[in-house]
Amino acid sequence: SDYSHMPRAKAVTPHTQELIRIMGSTRLPNGEAKYTHSEIASCHGVSRPVVSKILAKTPQVDPPQPPERRGRKPVLSDRQKRHIMREFAKDPDATCTKIVRICKLSVSPQTVRRFLRSSGAAYAKIPTAPRLTPAHKAARVSFASEHLLAETDFSTWIFSDEKRFNLDGPDGLRYRWMFPGQEKAVLSKRAFGGGSIMVWGGIAGSHK
């Protein structure tokens, strides 16, 4: 036998026995032994039965388990999240600071913002558009159709318009939280109002 000239267990030094035990207790991430008894025997120049005998006498100690990681408790409860969404449904222009106050939350507005973004909401500018009635739309289509057919030369025309600038804040710059599935909000532009300055301008051909 190849093991006939291998040292017996009692002839193996304590140091070698300790090395054998270390190799025998080494595990892979899946918990299986990293080395076979034959591999350990070949490494230390002893027979496989000797390795098996040494390891059989080694107390089996379960590998230390990592401490159980308790996940961080949710900052907002499900009930609070539902309350937040109800308030935004009632007041789409509400700010997160206002929501914290109304819902009496013990969290910062930033926490509410993170929740809204995780829910698919986005803080975006409300697009502006003229307030057009069906009559306005019909008149525009009629104007375009008439001059398209007549091949009107617009280079001899003067186009003018007026712009209102508010004195008490941005004109047409409003942001709000937009939620998935929500009807797209459009900010109507009024032609006249108080507390503003009207500016008139015109263009004709290559001139302004």
First to last CA, the chain: 106
Beta-bridge partners for 199: 163
pLDDT at 208: 60
Task: List per-block mean pLDDT (blocks of 10 residues) for the chain, which spans 208 residues.
Answer: 51 84 84 88 88 81 62 81 92 90 93 92 77 85 90 86 69 72 59 68 78
CA distance 48 to 50: 5
Count how many Cα atoms sit within 13 Å of the Cα of residue 134 in the half-sphere of its side chain.
0
pLDDT at 26: 85
Q: Which tokens hold the place of 153?
A: 């030369």
Q: pTM higher than 0.75, yes or no? A: no
3 state SS of 168: coil
pLDDT at 168: 55
Residue pair 98/146 in contact (Cβ under 8 Å)? The answer is: no
3 state SS of 202: strand
Count how many Cα atoms sit within 13 Å of the Cα of residue 101 in the half-sphere of its side chain.
5
